[in-house]
Amino acid sequence: MYARLPDIDYALARLPQATPNTGPPFTFAYARTALKYGLGMLRLGHGDKVLVPEFICETLIHPMTQVGVAPVYFPVSSTFEPEWDAIETLVTDAVKAIVLVHYFGCPQDVSAYRRVCDRYHLKLIEDNAHGFGMVIDGTQGGCAGDIGLVSLRKTLPIPNGAILHVAAASAAEDIPALPAQPVHVRWKATRRRVARKMARHAPRLTQPDYTSQAAFREAPMPDWSMHQATWDYCCTVDPAHVAEVRRCIYAVWDTFVRECGLEPAWTGIPNNAAPLVLPAYAGNISQRNRWFHWGMRHGVDVHSWPTFPESHTGAHPHAMELWERLLCFPIHQEMDGCALRRFLDSRRECL
């Protein structure tokens, strides 16, 4: 049997809990695995369908395919809000749930999703993979759905780590014991170095080909649980502080990208957001590609997102149009906002 986390006084547990009937979260190495077991807890499997925003990464679809659940894609706007009218036309008897994605750590309108769930008797799957530290109505992002995911490893400098929140304690049946994904023995020793590196605008030694949808294509992963060492690290982290620092870095990028003629996806972010990156639109694909080169020249990991499921090819032109113009400017809580501002002041270019 897979044990829930021990009931100890770790920083994550001190956060407001999910809902009155929610216990501590389950941990996994990846949010995709959390979703796989979460679907099981919702009793979803072969023959069932789930509404999923079409602007989505393939890794979220892998667990659905593994358990026989078919995604039904709905369109989102350039601010990543659902096209609600389209959703109404997609609901059938086989559709049992809807996925809400808090894109890039900016909270979505949970109550609008809940209204749709209530009207069509759907379960709400809250995907807060991007927004560790986000708080919604006094609870952690990921706790408002029937199940919710948080990918700790995307926000924190850890090789693995994700959590699954389950709203109905009764549905939280035992999960089989999973092996912990091994962590490189030198991970602890190199953590400080990683943190120092992140402080310098999250550079990469070599830049993947961000102009290609194939750049990050991944095979489905084995089911791993989270390594104790990474959990121990997470217990030292204050999510509220992480979110606050990330919002400050976001503000620096926001000013910069506007001055450079790019259009941030949002006019601003609320003070409960925990931004993963700053998403901004270029005018067209060639301008976007010039920004990838700017990032490479200056050691800044400006990147694209997402890698669509292969089945998207040719089938979701609107999502592809967004991808072709979207740039993600990196945020990490080890960055120093003032240093970043000084750095960017000397590298401002209209490309």
Ligand X SMILES: Cc1ncc(COP(=O)(O)O)c(C=O)c1O
The answer to whether 60 contacts ligand X (rule: CB under 6 A) is yes
- Give how far Cα 139 sits from Cα of 25, 38, 132, 220, 334, Å: 13, 19, 12, 31, 25
- For residues 254 and 260, what is the distance between their CA atoms, to the nearest angstrom? 10
CB 31 within 8 Å of CB 147:
no
Among the residue ranges 127-135, 233-241, 294-302, 334-342, the one whose residues contact ligand X (CB under 6 A): 127-135
**By CB under 6 A, what part of segment 81-110 binds ligand X?**
101
Distance CA 19, CA 107 (A): 18
Tokens coding 27: 């941990």
Q: Which residue lies nearer to ligand X by CB, 252 or 304?
A: 304
CA distance 305 to 307: 6
In the list 61, 97, 117, 129, the residue contacting ligand X (rule: CB under 6 A) is 129
Give yes or no for a contact between 41 and 172, defined as CB atoms under 8 angstroms apart.
yes
Beta carbon of residue 36, minimum distance to ligand X (angstroms, whole number): 10
Nearer to ligand X, 105 or 343 (CB): 105
Neighbour count for residue 334 (Cβ, 10 Å):
16
Instruction: Work out whether 242 is an interface residue with ligand X (CB under 6 A).
Output: no
- Interacting span for ligand X (CB under 6 A) from 124-132, 138-146, 228-236, 289-297: 124-132
Site string for ligand X, 304-323 (x = CB under 6 A): --x-----------------
Please pick, from the candidates 26, 30, 73, 253, the single residue that binds ligand X as defined by CB under 6 A: 30
Q: Is 208 in the site for ligand X (CB under 6 A)?
A: no
Q: Report the nearest approach of ligand X to the CB of residue 129 (Å).
A: 3
Q: Is it true that the peptide bond before 220 is cis, omega within 30 degrees of 0?
A: no
Part in contact with ligand X (CB under 6 A); list of ranges 57-65, 291-299, 312-320, 322-330: 57-65
Closest CA to 329 of 244, 242, 203, 217: 203
User: For residues 294-306, b (16+ Cβ closer than 10 Å) or e, as one string?
Assistant: bbbeeebbbbbbb
Among 18, 25, 27, 31, binds ligand X (CB under 6 A): 31
Q: Which residue has the tokens 């997609």?
A: 90
Of 56-64, 170-178, 250-258, 321-329, which segment contacts ligand X by CB under 6 A? 56-64
Per CB under 6 A, 32 contacts ligand X: yes
For residue 227, the Cα-to-chain-centroid distance in whole angstroms is: 20
- Applying CB under 6 A, the residues found at the interface with ligand X are 30-32, 57, 59-60, 101, 127, 129-130, 151, 153, 162, 306
